[in-house]
Amino acid sequence: MKKIFLTTLLCLFTFSVFCQQKIGHVNSQEIMSNMPDIKIIETKIQKESKKMDEMYAEMMQKAQEAAQAFQKAQNDGESESVIKAKYEEAINLEQRMQVFAQDAQKELQALQNDLLAPVVEKIQNAINDVAKDGKYSYILDTGSGFNVILFNNGPGSNDITSAVKKKLKL
């Protein structure tokens, strides 16, 4: 009898602890897309991407010219040393293009990360403030692509997206 009483008491205590936790959810992607800084960031990234695309196009043109010069040297029966030099030039330009493409991708990603960091921090701080004010134990991000919601009691329940937007004056 004593064991049953203790087990029941323990279960009730555990249940009451879990009932006190408040879980909310937020759509960070929706908030991010409404931030005024995002348009500026997208414009900067597109501008930089366009510059890199133009540089890549120039490199592509030079590589094509080098490949044509190599083929012409072969067709014209140029000496082995001339053909070899033209071939190496074409290969070198092709390799430089590949390295440039990889480096450009890394640079664009780094630029995007650098520009977005303050916006992400601002959103995170607003989420933290709303969660603390609302006494939430956990906030799940429904906009992250994983849509991890353990429990949702109807539309809009414990959805703090609008509160975070209000905090950010969106």
- As a dihedral over the C-alpha atoms of residue 27, residue 32, residue 36, residue 39, rounded to 10 degrees, the angle is -140
Q: Contacts for 164-169 with beta carbons within 8 Å, 24 or more apart?
A: 164/26, 164/31, 164/123, 164/126, 164/127, 164/130, 165/31, 165/34, 167/126, 167/129, 167/130, 168/31, 168/35, 168/122, 168/123, 168/126
Q: What is the mean pLDDT of the chain?
A: 83
Does the pLDDT value for residue 115 go beyond 90?
yes
pLDDT at 44: 97
Alpha-carbon gap, residue 119 to 123, rounded angstroms: 6
Mean pLDDT for 63-82 is 93
Does the pLDDT value for residue 150 go beyond 50?
no
Does the pLDDT value for residue 106 go beyond 90?
yes
Does the pLDDT value for residue 124 go beyond 80?
yes
- Which of 14-28, 32-46, 128-142 is most confident? 32-46
In the chain the domains, ranked by start, together with CATH numbers, are: 21-167 (3.30.910.20)
